[in-house]
Amino acid sequence: MSNTPDTESPLLSHIKLRIAVSGPISIADFMNEALAHPEYGYYRKQDPFGRAGDFITAPEVSQMFGELIGLWAAVSWQQMGCPPKIDLIELGPGRGTLMSDALRAVRNVAGFGDALTVRFVETSPVLRTHQQTAIMAYGIPATWHEAFDDIPTRENVPAIVIGNEFFDALPIRQFERGDKGWAERLVGMDANSGELGFVRGRETPVTDALIPVNLRGSAKKGDIFESCAAAIAIADQIARRMNETNGAALFLDYGHPSSAYGDTLQALKGHEYHPVLADPGDADLTAHVDFAAISRTMLEAGARTGAVLTQGTFLRMLGIEQRAELLKTDVDEAQASAIDQALARLIDADQMGTLFKVLIGYGRNTTPPPCVSGVSG
């Protein structure tokens, strides 16, 4: 699946030149180029969603997903004492489908719509246009931001932060256990063939220090540890903001509840797995989210988190099965079957129900939002 020099994309040529000039780059640098290059990055130039795209996300599977998250946000707001203003922040909103379904579902929650300002954190100009169109009908003020930290903090205005499949799109670094210690896994280039490939950096004590203490003792040669500095930085910013102004955060993503070893970096193209280094900018790249690391970061910043739930458990707690039954009244057989299939896709253990996890965080002075169990902090 590799490109010959004749057909090589401009982004692949750019990455190869970068490696030729300064040597192997980190996987985080490769992901940054592939996903966020200003001109050729995957999320900068196209709409990757839906049947014609590379993957389908939960909000695109069914309206039920966004509706229930909207109601979760509205109840969180009520539990904060119905503050007159609230920022509803969505990280990486894709086509804006989740927010559109959420805003429709909360129209009848007295006072919530009037309190709301929607804030989207989105780097893709193409997707920003979709988001604008998706929520236009609701007449809710909305702003767009490049990064979470660009959103102004307003005195006495709490924030509710939602991120579905956001953290998995952020660049990770990988470290591989060798004979003596850990070395970073890098992206290099074969001098003869010109093909990209993974190479090992040098084992150094600094690299050792990046591995969580509780994992270091059990490492075997070849084990891989992944870390996502960008996710940790954003989790820290969110936690600090929630402590300052009150607030709640809801993260849904595929990942693991405890930090663990494993190579989870993957590429998807046309709904199929694809070689990770083959088509930067033209295939989606993701890695599983380390929810323990995000939770730990929020707790260290003084905020609170609930126990990590599976998506199936979370959506059932919010009443997705009852919502599906309601949607099935007054529809024909084909539509009812489509609703059943979407429900199964979102909550069944062999579909998205178990692989996808949910983490809820909230400020140290905030009443716990719905579905928080096994509170830490």
Ligand X SMILES: C[S@@+](CC[C@H](N)C(=O)[O-])C[C@H]1O[C@@H](n2cnc3c(N)ncnc32)[C@H](O)[C@@H]1O
In this chain, which of 62, 124, 207, 246 binds ligand X, going by CB under 6 A?
124
Q: Is residue 121 within the footprint of ligand X (CB under 6 A)? A: yes
Assigned token pair, 148: 């979470």
By C-beta, is 30 or 43 nearer to ligand X?
43
CB of 93 to ligand X, least distance (A): 5
Distance CA 274, CA 311 (A): 26
Least CB distance to ligand X at residue 27 (A): 15
123 touching ligand X, by CB under 6 A? yes
What is the closest distance, in whole angstroms, from the C-beta atom of residue 124 to ligand X in the complex? 4
Residue type, 67: E
Which residue from 62, 164, 264, 297 is in contact with ligand X, where contact means CB under 6 A?
164
User: Contacting ligand X (CB under 6 A), which of 33, 67, 101, 165?
Assistant: 165
**Backbone torsions φ then ψ of 95, nearest 5 degrees:** -85, 0
Helix (H) or strand (E) holding 87: strand 86-91
User: What are the C-alpha distances in Å from 134 to residues 44, 101, 245?
Assistant: 19, 9, 28
Q: What angle do CA 95, 97, 103 make, to 5 degrees?
A: 135
CB 324 within 8 A of CB 275: no
Task: Report how many residues bind ligand X under the rule CB under 6 A.
Answer: 18
Q: Which stretch binds ligand X (CB under 6 A): 76-84, 123-131, 134-142, 294-302?
A: 123-131
Distance between CA atoms of residues 346 and 252, nearest Å: 12
100 makes contact with ligand X (CB under 6 A) = no
Q: Rounded distance, CA 263 to CA 31, Å? A: 15
Coil, strand, or helix at residue 273?
strand
By CB under 6 A, tell whether 92 contacts ligand X. Answer: yes
The one-letter amino acid code at 78 reads Q
Work out whether 57 is an interface residue with ligand X (CB under 6 A): yes
Which of 33, 67, 87, 122 contacts ligand X by CB under 6 A? 122
- In terms of CB distance, is 140 or 215 closer to ligand X? 140
Quick check: 74 and 106 in contact, CB under 8 A?
yes
The answer to whether 281 contacts ligand X (rule: CB under 6 A) is no
Q: Does 67 bind ligand X (CB under 6 A)?
A: no
Stretch of 166-174, 217-225, 289-297, 321-329 contacting ligand X, by CB under 6 A:
166-174
Contact between residue 122 and residue 144 where contact means Cβ atoms under 8 Å apart: yes
Q: Which residue is nearest to ligand X (CB)?
A: 92
- Nearest approach in angstroms of CB 333 to ligand X is 29
* Dist. CA 334–CA 42, nearest whole Å: 35
CB of 126 to ligand X, least distance (A): 8
Out of 3, 40, 54, 59, the residue judged to bind ligand X by CB under 6 A: 59
Got the DSSP string for 92-139? S-TTSHHHHHHHHHTTTSTTHHHHEEEEEE---HHHHHHHHHHHGGG-
Alpha-carbon distance 359 to 372, whole Å?
Answer: 9
9-48: contacts with ligand X (CB under 6 A): 43
Q: Which stretch binds ligand X (CB under 6 A): 4-12, 87-95, 354-362, 366-374?
A: 87-95
CB 183, min distance to ligand X, A: 27
Q: Does 63 bind ligand X (CB under 6 A)?
A: no
Which among 1-9, 71-79, 86-94, 152-160 is the span making contact with ligand X, rule CB under 6 A? 86-94
Q: What is the nearest approach in angstroms of ligand X to the Cβ of residue 251?
A: 11
Angle of helix 63-79 relative to helix 97-105, nearest 10 degrees?
60
Cβ atoms 162, 250 nearer than 8 A: yes
Spatial distance between the Cα atoms of 370 and 368, rounded to a whole number of angstroms: 7
Q: Which residues bind ligand X (CB under 6 A)?
A: 43, 57, 59-60, 92-94, 98, 121-124, 127, 164-166, 169-170
